[in-house]
């Protein structure tokens, strides 16, 4: 592997000033030092695609990053250009987890092992146990033998023993048997998630799996009904039987009804993302067709579908008092999208700074969303997408839409969502590494890398991430999913093309107003009571 | 013209979910249509001004009654169902007549009385003073002078009587030039940029035909250039598409020939005419009216309407002029055909970009007064205040107001006023409640003695200015001072659909919490606290002096909960789920055998029992609980039919096949 060093000029964006200095490629970073004190740094893992051009005595490298930035490097010397390009290409696509940067990153002020104390199933179980006695924490998956993509502990109906869980797991794709995702105390109902049942063409049944879902209804509000929200179309679910999958037959699960709410996933979703980013980056396009291009990307249609499915789920729980099981096929993508959004709609706690982090940890990271596979490439890669899909980004976009419609109800601001997007795709922290808890254990992620949460919870960061307008809203948030109410998330998709100043200036002003209020609150003289009454 | 005054048992249909409707009484008055709900505790009222009504549509009678669809110019759509066909017909006929007044005296402003005395009314009309405004620009000066050539509207009846023209332009020159311009709208000053002497002037198209020339007109443009001593040329901006301008030549009109005028640079900016704009708005409103459109339907419809493309064209023209003036220091003459629609839009957008004064509350009123009212924008024709030619109607001012909103979205700190202010100005352009926007010209307004007989909108808005302030306004920030700089890249995606205007009566579609209102409340409370703090500190000082004298110190006690903090308005919290089931009308309900009423009741009791009092109170505000019972029967029926379906595999839950 060649590591290059050369004189270069860096162009960070259409209206940004150029940086000139010595360019250098290290094992994990691209460095440019424009002066003795300054250092510009790019994590090589962030590079999504690289394009090189040489002309005469110099060359140009265009780096398209996973966080959607486009950088241009003008490098002196043809040989140097090619060397650096080769190095970046090789180093940015390394797949080994344990040699990745998080295993070497040792920032000042953070201690290894800090903030890995998020043990969502356990800590969440404590919350559930306060509210109901019908559920228990099971360590049946202690060594990940039942389900490799589940964490060690899961919350299951008290009435079902570990042996039955094991049998149910064998009846579900990837062993993802139904587990509790959220307990809605107000209506006494629960939200569950799983993968598809392996009914196959013979329409197999599994008594333990049926028993599990029966126990769910028995443990809920008396007379509660169940709904299975299948994130595939009825057609697709039926076809899945041919490949050994399927869906819950009504006769086998009394009290449960099925709803199909097809959500886009996999490659079409990735392509939608790619097309949208392409449209947003095309500054030369004729001005007339922006809206039809936006329509052609279908991204906003996916946002609408995801939000309305989550709303329907939440509505079923709060308004109809029903228990809801969500699954698609594998139960690691659109399933998590729906369950996490439904919680955000219903649960005021999950809208706090800590609660939202916990939600992401519990419903995405621990629940086995395969981040490594899904976020291997972002929107610029020319490689044929294999497992990539921006499901997590779709989730963040839906959260942003919710925050736009309820600007006072989320304790965190857009900056947290942007940070999560960046770190999911390329991060010096270990939080989003690997595809499951099992893999993270094997790689010793918890002991060898720093947690993103400990960085985000530093006071300096918090000020950037908090929503100064936040006021606790104890109610459910019912967003509008009409097209008129959903907008392109400019802060993300146009982040590097629109001028950043106006929103920042506004943000400062909001802080100023709110801080002034707090100051006057604090400076109320406590001595006033000693004033003698005239 | 009232065939009847009151109809009982009318239903007002909720457009968001057609199943919901409220029963009430419909009243017709000389000025309003009023619907009062029967619900005893609220008796909510819906008032619609006759002048706001755009179209009335009588639809086919159904079993429940005769539906009447009223579309308003402020984008409200009201659907009423009147039990008796005859009553419906009478209401329809009365409204048709009432919404098409033939005399100005029939309009609301002549009967509207806000209980102000004569003096207050006169003061109200003096709030916006254009003489002062030209002084603020730095006029008159060595280059520009006030001309009385149009005194008594002798030269041009659609222009104001007082105008600024280049000092070197004699009355002879002006009259000569006016004869060479459509409707004699000769080049006059619109805005003067005192930093570099560049100016924006406006006129109508020249009557050049294929070859005609006018020496005075050529000298007039020369005079404008000379009034900007540093510059070698002026821009002449024709805001029409080139094709339109060329077509006008056949009618003896047209555009300036660069060869005939020394030192001009001629430029077309293709903004479409009023007919194209009227149709575009119509198409966009049809999209807004769609019931539960898909994202594709909406985006395609919006694109096909062309509305945002037209908004961008107007903005581009404004940006071009602002740049020419501020960056190049070149004066610009703007015209379209008659110079009262596109020209007004473009000049005021450019002024707004150039001068922070116009981005203040008062400054914006002045801008509208100057570029629109005084320069003869034909409010009566464009907004159909009196019954007239429907082809004259066009949303010209609406487009300008939207341009301002688009700028506000891009520069959240640059404007002293907020979105509500724009919406209210738009409302009153159509409402005819105040005299400001009456008639087509100053001359007509003077003849009608508008200022003696009606009230001024500006005074009304100014009095309530607390409602219209933007809490984020930063007059002191470098970014909001001087000219607003838009990014150089063609940022077509910066232009967004304005649902706060075009869907503003569909409350469910709007953000459920208002940042503006919240921040204004915070600011107000901070101010109150500071004032309190000041008085308390003063008193404390006095007390301490007394105490020192007595050499006595009393123990300090704190006063807990003296102020309980502010709360956001109630409606920001109330929120109900909408129809998330796409093409199905309702959420699946339990089958009837399980007793829907009972479970609905249980749900209610659960809510009431909730430990958090605020929570249960709010839950009761939400109407969802009632919904359950009215939805369940249909859900149940579907459940049975679905169960008996032939395909045993499709045991999917009930409501998928609607």
pLDDT in tens, B117-171: 899 999 999 999 999 999 999 999 999 999 999 999 999 999 999 999 999 999 9
Residue of chain A with shortest Cα separation from B292 = A482
Largest CA distance in chain A: 90
DSSP 3-state of A169: helix
Same domain, B190 and B332: yes
Picking from B575, B420, B580, the residue whose alpha carbon sits closest to that of residue B507 is B575
CATH number for the domain spanning B336: value is 3.90.190
B337 is in an annotated binding site: yes
Cα–Cα distance between A13 and A1 in angstroms, integer? 30
Domain contains B224: yes
DSSP 3-state of B134: helix
Tokens representing residue A222 in the block: 């008396």
Does residue B475 have a pLDDT over 60? yes
Share of chain A above pLDDT 90, in %: 70
Same domain, B76 and B163: no
**Interface contact B533-A527, CB threshold 8 A:** no
Domain contains B62: yes
Q: Which residues of B touch A298 (CB under 8 A)?
A: 295-296
Domain contains B508: no
Same domain, B57 and B149: no
Same domain, B148 and B79: no
Same domain, B195 and B269: yes
The whole-number average pLDDT for the span B516-533 is 88
CATH number for the domain spanning B34: value is 2.30.29.30
Tokens representing residue B371 in the block: 């570029």
Cα–Cα distance between A256 and A197 in angstroms, integer? 14
pLDDT in tens, A118-128: 667 888 988 88
Cis peptide leading into residue A410 (ω within 30°): no
Picking from A133, A167, A4, the residue whose alpha carbon sits closest to that of residue A76 is A4
Q: How high is the pLDDT of residue A502?
A: 81
Does residue A187 sit at the B interface (CB-CB below 8 Å)? yes
Residues of B known to be catalytic: 336
- Grade residue A525 by pLDDT with cuts at 50, 70 and 90: low
Residue of chain A with shortest Cα separation from B478 = A505
Q: Are A443 and A433 in contact (CB under 8 A)?
A: yes
- A-B contacts (CB, under 8 Å): 260
Q: Which residues of A touch B580 (CB under 8 A)?
A: 308-309, 311-312, 315, 481
Picking from A239, A230, A298, A294, the residue whose alpha carbon sits closest to that of residue A270 is A298
Q: Are B133 and B423 in contact (CB under 8 A)?
A: no
Domain contains B549: no
Cα atoms in the 13 Å half-sphere on the side-chain side of B648: 3
Q: How high is the pLDDT of residue A3?
A: 54
Does residue B496 have a pLDDT over 50? yes
Domain housing B218: 138-354
Count of domains for chain B: 2
Q: How high is the pLDDT of residue A497?
A: 80
First-residue to last-residue Cα distance in chain B: 46
Domain contains B456: no
Cα–Cα distance between B122 and B116 in angstroms, integer? 10
**Interface contact B618-A505, CB threshold 8 A:** no
Q: Which of A487, A502, A520 sits opposite B526 (nearest CB)?
A: A520
Q: Which of A483, A514, A528 sits opposite B293 (nearest CB)?
A: A483
Q: How high is the pLDDT of residue B489?
A: 59
Cα–Cα distance between A255 and B387 in angstroms, integer? 63
**Interface contact B654-A257, CB threshold 8 A:** yes
DSSP 3-state of A245: coil
- Grade residue B551 by pLDDT with cuts at 50, 70 and 90: low
Q: What is the mean pLDDT of chain A?
A: 90
**Radius of gyration over alpha carbons of chain B, in Å?**
30
Alpha carbon of B399: minimum distance to chain A alpha carbons (Å): 18
**Radius of gyration over alpha carbons of chain A, in Å?**
25
DSSP 3-state of B124: helix
Same domain, B96 and B142: no
Q: Are B580 and B535 in contact (CB under 8 A)?
A: no
Q: How high is the pLDDT of residue B493?
A: 67
Same domain, B277 and B181: yes
Read off the pTM.
0.89
B342 is in an annotated binding site: yes
Same domain, B167 and B254: yes
Same domain, B201 and B344: yes
Same domain, B181 and B325: yes
Rank A88-92, A199-203, B64-68, B341-345 by mean pLDDT and report only the highest.
B341-345
Q: How high is the pLDDT of residue A524?
A: 60
Q: Which of residues 510-529 of A touch B (CB under 8 A)?
A: 510, 513-514, 516-517, 520-521, 523-529
At a CB cut-off of 8 Å and minimum separation 6, what does B449 contact? none
pLDDT in tens, B70-114: 999 999 999 999 999 999 999 999 999 999 999 999 999 999 988
Q: How high is the pLDDT of residue B597?
A: 30
Q: What is the mean pLDDT of chain B?
A: 84
Rank A127-141, A451-465, B368-382, B502-516 by mean pLDDT and report only the highest.
B368-382
Q: Which of A223, A304, A474 sits opposite B614 (nearest CB)?
A: A474
Domain closes at, from B354, B389, B423: B354
Q: Are B421 and B361 in contact (CB under 8 A)?
A: yes
Alpha carbon of A351: minimum distance to chain B alpha carbons (Å): 15
Residue of chain A with shortest Cα separation from B499 = A484
- Grade residue A286 by pLDDT with cuts at 50, 70 and 90: low
Strand pairing class (A189-193; A179-184)? antiparallel
Domain closes at, from B300, B331, B354: B354
The whole-number average pLDDT for the span B384-403 is 96
Q: Give the CA dihedral B204, B209, B215, B219, nearest 10 degrees.
A: 40
Range in A138-147, B459-468, B498-507, B585-594 the model is least confident about? B585-594
Q: How high is the pLDDT of residue B490?
A: 55
Q: How high is the pLDDT of residue B14?
A: 82
Does residue B632 have a pLDDT over 70? no
Strand pairing class (A256-260; A226-230)? parallel
Domain contains B372: no
B274 is in an annotated binding site: yes
Cα–Cα distance between B153 and A15 in angstroms, integer? 50
**Interface contact B537-A488, CB threshold 8 A:** no
**Packing angle, helices B295-305 and B307-323, rounded to 10:** 50
Domain closes at, from B322, B354, B386: B354
Does residue A246 have a pLDDT over 50? yes
Same domain, B44 and B186: no
pLDDT in tens, A382-422: 877 789 999 999 999 999 999 999 999 999 999 999 999 99
Same domain, B345 and B208: yes
Share of chain A above pLDDT 70, in %: 95
Q: How high is the pLDDT of residue B491?
A: 61
Tokens representing residue B365 in the block: 């009123």
Strand pairing class (B332-335; B234-238)? parallel
Q: How high is the pLDDT of residue A132?
A: 86
Q: Which residues of B touch A292 (CB under 8 A)?
A: 299-300, 303
The whole-number average pLDDT for the span B343-361 is 97
pLDDT in tens, B228-284: 998 999 999 999 999 999 999 999 999 999 999 989 999 999 999 999 999 999 999
Domain contains B230: yes
Q: How high is the pLDDT of residue B433?
A: 95
Return the residue in A482, A523, A529 with the most chain B beta carbons within 10 A, the one to mutate for interface testing.
Answer: A482
Does residue B179 have a pLDDT over 80? yes
Alpha carbon of B491: minimum distance to chain A alpha carbons (Å): 7
Domain contains B223: yes
pLDDT in tens, B7-30: 999 999 987 766 778 999 999 999
Picking from A207, A222, A136, the residue whose alpha carbon sits closest to that of residue A170 is A207
């Amino acid at each position: 592997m060649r590591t290059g060093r050369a004189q270069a000029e860096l162009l960070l964006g259409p209206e940004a000033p150029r940086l000139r200095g010595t360019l250098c490629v290290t094992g994990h970073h691209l460095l440019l030092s424009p002066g003795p004190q300054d250092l510009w740094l790019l994590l090589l893992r962030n590079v999504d695609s690289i394009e090189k051009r040489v002309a005469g005595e110099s060359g140009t490298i265009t780096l398209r990053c996973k966080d959607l930035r486009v950088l241009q490097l003008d490098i002196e010397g043809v040989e140097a250009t090619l060397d650096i390009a080769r190095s970046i290409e090789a180093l940015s696509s390394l797949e080994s987890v344990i040699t990745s940067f998080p295993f070497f990153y040792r920032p000042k002020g953070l201690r290894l092992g800090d903030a890995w104390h998020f043990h969502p199933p356990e800590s969440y179980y404590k919350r559930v146990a306060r509210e109901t006695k019908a559920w228990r924490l099971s360590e049946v998956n202690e060594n990940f033998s039942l389900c490799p993509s589940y964490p060690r502990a899961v919350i299951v109906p008290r009435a079902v023993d570990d042996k039955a869980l094991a049998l149910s797991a064998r009846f579900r794709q990837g062993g993802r048997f139904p587990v509790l995702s959220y307990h809605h105390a107000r209506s006494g109902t629960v939200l569950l998630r799983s993968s598809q049942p392996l009914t196959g063409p013979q329409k197999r049944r599994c008594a333990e799996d049926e028993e599990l879902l029966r126990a769910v209804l028995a443990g809920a509000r008396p007379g509660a009904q169940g709904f299975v929200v299948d994130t595939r179309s009825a057609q697709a679910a039926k076809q899945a039987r041919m490949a050994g999958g399927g869906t819950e037959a009504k006769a086998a699960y009394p009290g449960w009804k099925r709803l199909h709410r097809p959500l886009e996933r996999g490659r079409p979703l990735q392509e939608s993302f790619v097309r949208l980013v392409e449209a947003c980056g095309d500054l030369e396009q004729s001005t007339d067709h922006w809206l039809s291009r936006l329509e052609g990307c279908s991204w906003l249609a996916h946002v609408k579908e995801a939000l309305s499915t989550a709303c329907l789920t939440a509505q079923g729980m709060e308004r109809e008092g029903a228990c809801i099981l969500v699954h698609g096929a594998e139960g690691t993508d659109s399933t998590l999208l729906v369950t996490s959004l439904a919680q955000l709609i219903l649960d005021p706690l999950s809208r706090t700074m800590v609660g939202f982090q916990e939600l992401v940890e519990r419903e995405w990271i621990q629940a086995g969303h395969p981040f490594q596979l899904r976020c291997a490439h972002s929107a610029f890669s020319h490689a044929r997408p294999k497992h990539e899909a921006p499901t997590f980004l779709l989730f963040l976009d839906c959260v942003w839409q919710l925050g736009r419609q309820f600007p006072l109800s989320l304790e965190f601001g857009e900056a947290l969502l942007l940070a999560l997007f960046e770190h999911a795709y390329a991060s010096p922290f270990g939080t989003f590494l690997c595809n499951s808890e099992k893999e993270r254990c094997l790689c010793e992620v918890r002991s060898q890398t720093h947690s993103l949460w400990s960085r985000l919870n530093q006071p300096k960061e918090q000020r950037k991430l908090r929503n100064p307008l936040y006021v606790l809203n104890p109610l459910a948030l019912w967003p509008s999913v009409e097209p008129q109410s959903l907008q392109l998330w400019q802060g993300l998709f146009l982040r590097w093309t629109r001028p950043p100043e106006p929103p920042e200036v506004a943000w400062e002003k909001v802080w100023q107003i709110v801080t002034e209020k707090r100051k006057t609150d604090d400076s109320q003289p406590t001595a006033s009571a000693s004033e003698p009454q005239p | 013209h009232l065939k009847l005054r009151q109809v009982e048992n009318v239903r007002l249909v909720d457009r968001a979910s057609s199943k919901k409707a409220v029963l009430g009484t419909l009243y017709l008055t000389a000025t309003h249509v009023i619907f009062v709900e029967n619900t005893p505790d609220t008796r909510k009222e819906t008032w619609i001004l006759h002048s706001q009504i755009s179209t009335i549509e009588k639809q086919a009678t159904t079993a429940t009654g005769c539906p009447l669809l009223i579309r308003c110019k402020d984008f409200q759509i009201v659907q009423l169902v009147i039990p008796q066909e005859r009553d419906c017909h009478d209401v329809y006929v009365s409204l048709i007549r009432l919404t098409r007044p033939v005399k100005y005296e029939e309009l609301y402003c002549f009967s509207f009385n806000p209980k102000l005395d004569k003096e207050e009314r006169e003061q109200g009309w003096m709030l916006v003073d254009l003489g002062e405004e030209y002084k603020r620009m730095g006029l008159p000066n060595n280059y520009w002078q006030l001309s009385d050539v149009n005194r008594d509207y002798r030269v041009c009846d659609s222009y104001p009587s007082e105008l600024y023209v280049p000092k070197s332009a004699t009355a002879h020159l002006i009259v000569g030039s006016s004869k060479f311009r459509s409707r004699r709208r000769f080049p006059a000053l619109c805005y003067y940029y005192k930093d570099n002497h560049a100016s924006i002037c406006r006129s109508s198209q020249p009557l050049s035909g294929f070859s005609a020339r006018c020496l005075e007109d050529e000298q007039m443009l020369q005079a404008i250039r000379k009034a900007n001593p540093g510059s070698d040329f002026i821009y002449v901006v024709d805001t029409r598409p080139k094709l339109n301008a060329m077509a006008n030549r056949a009618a003896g009109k047209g555009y300036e020939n660069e060869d005939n005028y020394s030192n001009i640079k001629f430029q077309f900016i293709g903004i479409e005419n009023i007919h194209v704009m009227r149709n575009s708005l119509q198409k966009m409103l049809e999209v807004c009216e769609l019931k539960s459109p898909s994202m594709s339907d909406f985006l395609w419809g919006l694109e096909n309407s062309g509305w945002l493309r037209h908004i961008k064209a107007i903005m581009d023209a404004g940006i071009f002029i602002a740049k020419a003036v501020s960056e190049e220091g070149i004066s610009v003459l703007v015209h379209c055909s008659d110079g009262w629609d596109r020209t007004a839009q473009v000049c005021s957008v450019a002024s707004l970009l150039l001068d922070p004064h116009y981005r203040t509350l008062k400054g914006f009123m002045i801008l509208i007064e100057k570029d629109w009212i005084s320069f003869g924008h034909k409010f009566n024709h464009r907004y159909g205040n009196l019954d007239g030619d429907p082809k004259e109607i066009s949303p010209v001012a609406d487009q300008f107001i939207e341009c301002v909103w688009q700028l506000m979205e891009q520069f959240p700190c640059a404007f002293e006023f907020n979105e509500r202010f724009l919406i209210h100005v738009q409302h009153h352009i159509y409402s005819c409640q105040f005299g400001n926007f009456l008639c087509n010209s100053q001359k007509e307004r003077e003849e009608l003695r508008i200022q003696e007989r009606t009230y001024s909108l500006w005074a009304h808005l100014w009095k309530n200015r607390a409602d219209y302030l933007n809490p984020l306004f930063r007059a002191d920030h470098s970014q909001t001072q001087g000219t607003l700089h838009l990014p150089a890249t063609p940022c077509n995606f910066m232009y967004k659909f304005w649902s706060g205007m075009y869907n503003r009566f569909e409350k469910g579609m709007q953000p459920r919490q208002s940042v503006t209102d919240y921040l204004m409340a915070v600011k107000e409370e901070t101010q109150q606290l500071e004032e309190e703090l000041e008085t308390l500190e003063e008193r404390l000082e006095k007390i301490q002096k007394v105490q020192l004298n007595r050499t006595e110190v009393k123990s300090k006690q704190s006063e807990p909960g003296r102020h309980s903090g502010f709360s956001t308005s109630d409606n920001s919290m109330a929120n109900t789920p909408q129809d998330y089931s796409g093409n199905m009308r309702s959420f699946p309900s339990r089958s009837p055998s399980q007793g829907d009423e009972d479970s609905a009741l249980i749900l209610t009791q659960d809510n009431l029992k909730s430990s958090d009092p605020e929570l249960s109170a709010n839950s009761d505000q939400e109407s969802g609980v009632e919904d359950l019972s009215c939805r369940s029967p249909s859900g149940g029926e579907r459940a049975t039919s679905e169960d008996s379906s032939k395909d045993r595999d499709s045991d999917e839950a009930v409501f998928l096949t609607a």
